[in-house]
Amino acid sequence: MQAEKKPHLLLVCSTGGHLKQMYELKDFWSRYDHTWVTFPNGNGPGQLKDEKNVIWAPFPTNFPNFPNNIKNTFLALKIVFSGKYTHILSTGAGVGVPYIWLGWLFSPFLKTKTIFIDSLTRTIGMSFSMKLVYFFSHIRLTQWPNNTRLHSRLLYKGKVL
């Protein structure tokens, strides 16, 4: 029987409000080994200056910037396939999508769980990023209880902020 891996979280999010929301979960993620993936701009460098493990993703990764989306996907392949991470947690936006997809797709082999928390600003419905990971993530959280009535696979456990 193989020993269970010690939890190691991969925290993936854009800078700005997405990083702020992930940082609000510090009481949770600070108990475990963790590595960040975010952008080297905005509040990222300042907010994470005391963190030991930070990987800077190419910026921007929004839809029109196809080359950076490709670079981010290859970075995600390298990081996810390292086998180091037991959980991949993202608060969005697009930077987290390939990490969630790959973590979910290869979870039978890597034993990875994926969790996507939709933005607090999504009071009705899902963000584009949530729509992209909705069927390809283990846990999908919304920060508004009414969204669980609209989408059966969304869970509400409270607000981050």
**pLDDT of 5 above 60:** yes
Enter the tokens of residue 70: 């490709």
93 upstream amide cis, omega within 30 of 0: yes
**Which domains are present in the chain?**
8-156 (3.40.50.2000)
Please give the pLDDT value at position 2. Answer: 58
Q: Dihedral of CA 137/118/12/60: which sign?
A: positive
- The whole-number pLDDT of residue 161 equals 67
User: Does residue 1 have a pLDDT over 70?
Assistant: no
What pLDDT was estimated at residue 157? 94
Q: Angle at CA 131, nearest 5°, toward 35 and 7?
A: 25
Count of other CB atoms within 10 angstroms of residue 3: 5
pLDDT tens by residue, 36-72: 999 999 999 999 999 999 999 999 887 778 899 999 9
CA 155 centroid distance within chain: 16
Q: Say if pTM beats, i.e. exceeds, 0.85.
A: yes
- Point out which residues pair with 116 in neighbouring strands: 90, 140
pLDDT (0 to 100) of residue 99 = 98
User: Which token pair is 91?
Assistant: 């608060």
How big is the CA angle at 35 (ends 144 and 23), to the nearest 5 degrees?
A: 35
**11-39 pLDDT per residue, tens:** 999 999 999 999 999 999 999 999 999 99
